Amino acid sequence: MNILFAYNRGLDWYSDAHAAGVEAANLPIEVSLEKFWSASPFDYDVVHIQWPETLFNWRTPSADELELLRRRLKDIRARAKVIYTRHNEVSHNADAGAQRILRELYALIESECDVMVHLGEPSKTACETRPDLREKQHVMIPIPVYDEIYAPYLEMDRAEARRRLGIPLHQKVALAFGHFRNEAERQLTVHAFGALNERDALLVAPGWNQPIPKWRPLALLHSACKTLRARRRGMWLGTKRLLPHPAVARYFIAADVVFLQRLDGLNSANVPMAFLFSKVVAGPDCGNIGYWLRKTGNPVFKPSQPSSAGTALKQALDLAASGLGKANYQFAMSNWSMRQIGEAYAALYRKTGSHVV
């Protein structure tokens, strides 16, 4: 059986873990975007697509390129089965002007795939009941917990992690990891943190702002002043985008709880990451995010009522003291390990590929 992953290696944590888990299940794969577009003859049995935008290297396609993809997918489906993992309902990677064609791109991938993989039951249920998607095969395979990637760092000392980051040991730390997509997410996080009303609380948000080029000195000065004012309010706001694994581990180990700064969204890799590092999570009750948090007893807030985020964050700190973080770790390792997820995908590929005519 020949399997093609239609992206390039090093795309992100999920894709790396996905590939490693399947390879550990003794199923050979090829990871190549070039082969998706140019392989001839096309001798693959299964083609797996992650984010639709990756087929164009995160570039918004033109109408002509979208039509080219339509023809390419029909040609591939005459010889192979196409599997699509539904990470997002719509793209998070474009301005308003590009959303129309990106919606068309997403709709095209959904219509031309044979199997849709969902990262939680809400996504699976929603698509199973859509008239245009009812005939697809729908399966649920969660996000892996990245245990094998982060295994070398799980025993990292908390005091050492805080020392490296400059965080005092006595502070209660809420980590809002990942980039902030818009001002609404920043306001949500500020209000939730402010609701704690604790002098020893610290909000750590390494991806709060976009990095400012050095050739804009006035902007750098303005940013430095804002950062200083934030520090005085107990907020550590950074401009980190891509971090090596040891640095990522330090942030999670140093934290007491993790806050998901989303007002919408289907999935978040920060849920399994937090669970892996035995942290309690406060997050929005939406999509698969809310499903997994409620299922494991972690506090949620209503995106339509951002004021409820402060209550959820307070609950998270209380639950952290009660030991829920350890229970989160046990749940993740029992259900989401890279080996388990890899074996689930391998079984799906074998079953799907066996039906190729």
SS3 165: helix
Residues 55, 80, single domain; the answer is yes
Query: Please, which residues bridge with residue 144 across strands?
Result: none
Residues 138 and 223 in one domain: no
* Same domain membership, residue 204 and residue 61: no
Name the strand (E) or helix (H) holding 257: strand 257-259
pLDDT at residue 228 in the model: 45
How many residues in the chain?
357
Euclidean distance between the first and the last CA atom of the chain, given in angstroms as a whole number: 13
Q: Are residues 178 and 275 in the same domain?
A: yes
Same domain assignment for residues 25 and 171: no
pLDDT of residue 239: 81
Give tens-digit pLDDT for 14-69. 888 888 889 988 998 999 999 999 877 688 999 999 999 999 988 899 999 999 99
Per DSSP bridges, beta strands 201-205 and 235-237 are parallel
pLDDT value at residue 241: 74
Same domain, 270 and 196: yes
My answer on whether 85 and 14 are in the same domain is yes
pLDDT of residue 222: 46
Q: Does residue 172 sit in the same domain as residue 320?
A: yes
Pairing of strands 257-259, 172-175: parallel
Q: Tens digit of pLDDT for each residue in 254-281?
A: 999 999 999 999 999 999 999 999 999 9
CA angle 163, 178, 8 (to 5 degrees): 115
Residue 244: its pLDDT value, please?
Answer: 92
Same domain, 134 and 175: no
Q: Which helix (H) or strand (E) is 300 found in, with range?
A: strand 300-301
Q: By CB neighbour count within 10 A (0-12 exposed, 13-18 middle, 19+ buried), where does 95 fall? A: exposed
Q: Please tell me whether residues 250 and 267 are part of one structural domain.
A: yes
Residue among 286, 354, 346 nearest 21 (CA): 346
- What would the pLDDT profile of 62-94 be if each residue is shown by its tens digit? 999 999 999 999 999 999 999 999 999 988 765
Average pLDDT, the chain: 90
Mean pLDDT across 138-142: 98
Specify the number of domains making up the chain. Answer: 2
Q: State the pLDDT at residue 212.
A: 47
| Per-residue confidence band for 297, with pLDDT thresholds at 50, 70 and 90 | very high
Find, among 325, 341, 238, the residue nearest to 279 by Cα. 325
Span 120-139, pLDDT tens digits: 999 999 999 999 999 999 99
Mark whether 159 and 268 lie in a shared domain.
Answer: yes
**Which contiguous run of DSSP H or E holds residue 31?**
strand 30-31
Read off the pLDDT of residues 156-208 as tens digits, 9 standing for 90 and up: 999 999 999 999 999 999 999 999 988 999 999 999 999 998 889 999 999 98
For residue 41, whether the previous peptide bond is cis, meaning omega lies within 30 degrees of 0, is yes
171, amino acid identity: Q
**Unique residue bearing structure tokens 């089965």:** 81
Give the CATH number for residue 103. Answer: 3.40.50.2000
| Same domain assignment for residues 128 and 267 | no
Determine the structural domain holding residue 321 and report its residue range. Answer: 147-335
Is the pLDDT score of 331 beyond 70? yes
Number of C-beta neighbours around residue 321 at 10 A: 11
pTM, 2 dp = 0.91
Q: How far apart are CA 336 and CA 80, in angstroms?
A: 28
Q: Kindly report, residue by residue over 209-259, the tens digit of the pLDDT.
A: 765 455 455 544 444 445 544 554 567 788 877 899 999 999 999 999 999
- CA separation for the pair 265, 324 (Å, rounded): 24
Beta strands at 201-205 and 172-175: parallel, antiparallel or unpaired = parallel
